Structure 1
Amino acid sequence: MTGGGVEGWSTDEGGRVQLRSLLTAMSGLAAEQWAPARVEQLLRLSVAVLDAEHAVLAVDGDDGALGTVLFSTADPLAVTALRDLLGAHLTAARPPAGPLFEAAAVVLPATTPSALVRPVLEVPMTVTSGGSGRLYVLGQAGRVAFDDADEEMAAEFAKMAALSVENALHGQQSRQQVKWLRGLTLITQALLQAGSDEVSVWQEIADRVHQLARARTVTIATVSEDDPDLLEVRVAAGVGAAQLPGRVFGEQDSLAVQAMAAGSWQVGTGGEEHTTHSRVGPPVGATLAIPLLDARGPRGAIVLSRHPAQAAFTRTEVAMVHDFANQAMLAIELAETRAAERTLSARTTEEEIAGTFQDRTIQRLFAASLMVEAAMVRRPEPWLTLLHAELAAVITEARSSLQGHYGRAG
């Protein structure tokens, strides 16, 4: 691809001043709207203004991994050649090696074929919401070097690209937060349903987190009812959703146990030995565990894992999963509250029955006993004596039983 001037603009110093003013004005638009196609247009404009051959933008995520690489050309052969020429510059994240938004020449390897040797500028950049990147401008074959004015103009293009990336990150985070909030709303509705139970709510939480966090596997484990030193997987989503529920573990080096002991979230890289997730399916990559806490201490943990090729969990994702962990803990508390209410209701019902028995049945038996006693005075027959004794024994036994069950209440 051969560079050239921009129609209507000269390439002398006066034209460069005009172009710089134009770039300053365009930066406002870059901050408001972003799309990869617009950034590619920006790259093509930089090629034309700097009389270059190609331009490349590499953007790293806030997790330290290489995120996106955009090119000024769509030609697949040219893209492959650019990747080969820039090598490690485009295969991994690179922390800024020099002052931000200041262009510097890139020294190509001595083994670079002479036909590919050309001047290359690198402009380190950063965005305020996290992450960094680099703008590369490659000169025409046969060109000796870029001058100071070219370097200054490349820095201006890098600033515009940083504004575009910043806006893109904000838009992506806003869309993701809307999805998380919708998921939390649905979970809240499930919690408030009269017939809901904690297991169904946990499963809904695991399913939502699995989808929104792009996780390999999500599990929710709570302290085992049989052994307080062990954790039991209650629900799972993703890989192992059918095999993991019901599994019991208590490894002290497991990420869930570590999170519960620390009382805060814990992350791992390549969680083969740190989670139950690795016991089923393909290998495990980045992992995250968040404890379920209440006033009495840790009650369990929600654990996420990703595939090895996926990026680590960001702080934004950790904060969002925290919200779902709070919902899972709320499900436990609501289940316990409802169980206590059922016990109290059953106890109240039993006491009402006992009161009715005391007020009606026993009183009627006592009245019948008095009637028998009066009959015995008028006609003292043996069978009346036996009947009176039997009634007295029944009344005494009934009162004794009631006092033994409730009367420790009186």
Structure 2
Amino acid sequence: MVIQAILPLHNLPLRPAPVLLIGIALAWLLARANYVLFHTLVELFCVIIAGMLALTGALSYFQTRNRTLLLLSCGYLCIGLTDLWHTLAYQGLQVIGQGANTATQLWVLGRLLEVTLLLTVTRPISNRAFPVILLTGATFTTLGWATILYWPVFPPCFIPGSGLTAFKIAAEYLVMVCAIAAFFLLQRAPQLPPPFLLYLRGALLFTVLSEFFFTLYWQVADLYNFAGHIGKLISYALLAWGIIIQSLYRPLDTLYSQLCQQQQLLREASEKDALTGLLNRQALQERLTQLWRRHTAERLPICLLMLDLDHFKTVNDRFGHHSGDLVLQKTAALLKSQLRQQDLLARYGGEEFLAVLPGATLTAARVIAERLRLAVGEQAVELTDGQSLLVTISGGLVQARRGENWEQALERADQLLYQAKQRGRNRVESEEGP
């Protein structure tokens, strides 16, 4: 509860508590059977995670140019190598070094490198400061290795029979304080990706817990040492999960979302008339086929209203095609504003519009058609040269008949539109109900 109050961990892979407890129990059995093997597996896992973090940060730099991620990459490369030397120097393997003290010294060096790195990335890094920080970190790491492995001047950290030295305990508490400081300073770090930052801060909490246990052990294979390694294991597991989220899942999820958005935009573009923004002829026909099938099967009323601007050729000839396009755009917007939400409207031809009125009887559709006609005739279109132009519109209205398809109904609407033109224009002709 305390951790969740400090950090929103609801997305972290900590929810299956039984799995975590079973894992710790199995790790404890392995540690009792062969502590060197347990220690080697834990440390190699952490080395691999440090390498993954280094590789991810380096690769992402070529796309994001994020100096903070690149610095994390270089820093965790040094930390991973230090932990590898620590593993090889551990009592029982002792490939390098002089036993438990050397392994403990390398452990302290690795943790000091880690908290120093995390404190450094809590603030944005300038172009001028970046090479200086990089060179300083590389120099400090190299000197640390040298003073432990070649020049034995690094302070002793573990004395067999006596346990931890005062320097080791003080260093662990310093690491804990720095980790806590980094946790709060990283609360707002815009230079780091938010998903990775969440897991990085979670890892810091377990780093503090791990370091606390490492101040208590007396033998290299006791319970406190085991608990400290479990804390480090969980800490690096969170880093690993953050790497997966940041470098694999999130980019793939973002790519998929972008592809879906692009597909949606392409679909919408293929369905829209480029000039008016209304549905184009093909898109309307596809939707009308589905609407017609459903309404006729359920014997629901549906009407078609074919509209055509009057004397539109004269508008083009007198005012130019640009003005004609403006008239079409304004008329389309006006017609759409007067229709119901469930109605469909498309530019069906040059200056022709087709409205589909699902659920409307012929009587209700006449009211809608008359409203459209009056709206177009009463609102002047303002041209770019300052002139105002009044246009009118004529229409043919039909209701679906039993047994006919929408193409047949559209032919009847087109015939009624022709009659409206013949009878003086600026009118809507409709036939008697079916």
Per the normalisation by structure 1, the TM-score is: 0.25
More helix by share: 2
More strand by share: 1
